[in-house]
C-alpha cells in the first residue's frame, strides 16, 4: 500500500514520471520538454518526513494553502485554495502518522481539484 501511495504522490502531486520502477523527475524548463533531469530512487513520503515535506512544498507551489493541528483522535491536515476572499476547502483527514497524512491529503486535494 505504501509503495502505491508513494508512486501516486510522485506522479499526481509531484508531477514526476515512473519508468521501470524508478521515479524520474522531468524538468519542465529543459529542452526538449521531455528531457530527464534526474532520478529519484528513494522517494518515500509516506514514511520519510523530509520526503513528505517536499510534498507540502510542491502543494504550495501549486497554489494550495495548508493547516495542520492536533485533535483528540490524531493530527488533522487540510489543503485548500484561496479564491479571492473565499477559502474553499479541498480535502481534510485525521491520522496518527503525519507522513502518511500529508500524502493522503495532498493526493485527495489534487484529485478533487482536477474534478472541479
Domain boundaries, the chain: 2-115
Condensed to tens digits (0 to 9), the pLDDT of residues 99-115 reads 999 999 999 889 887 77
Considering the entire predicted model, what is its pTM? 0.77
Distance CA 9, CA 99 (A): 12
- Give the pLDDT confidence of 53-95 residue by residue, as tens digits: 999 999 999 999 898 888 887 788 888 887 765 555 556 677 7
Class of domain 2-115: alpha beta
For the chain, what is the mean pLDDT?
A: 77
Dist. CA 101–CA 84, nearest whole Å: 27
Distance set, CA 91 to CA 12, 81, 105, 110 (Å): 15, 10, 6, 9
Amino acid at each position: 500500500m505504501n509503495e502505491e501511495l508513494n508512486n501516486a504522490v510522485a506522479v499526481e502531486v509531484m508531477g514526476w514520471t515512473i519508468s521501470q520502477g524508478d521515479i524520474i523527475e522531468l524538468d519542465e524548463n529543459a529542452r526538449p520538454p521531455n528531457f530527464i533531469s534526474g532520478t529519484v530512487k528513494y522517494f518515500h513520503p509516506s514514511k520519510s518526513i523530509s520526503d513528505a515535506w517536499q510534498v507540502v512544498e510542491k502543494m504550495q507551489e501549486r497554489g494550495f494553502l495548508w493547516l495542520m493541528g492536533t485533535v483528540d483522535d490524531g493530527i488533522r491536515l487540510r489543503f485548500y485554495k484561496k479564491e479571492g476572499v473565499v477559502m474553499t476547502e479541498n480535502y481534510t483527514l485525521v491520522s496518527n502518522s503525519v507522513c502518511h497524512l500529508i500524502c493522503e491529503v495532498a493526493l485527495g486535494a489534487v484529485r478533487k481539484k482536477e474534478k472541479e
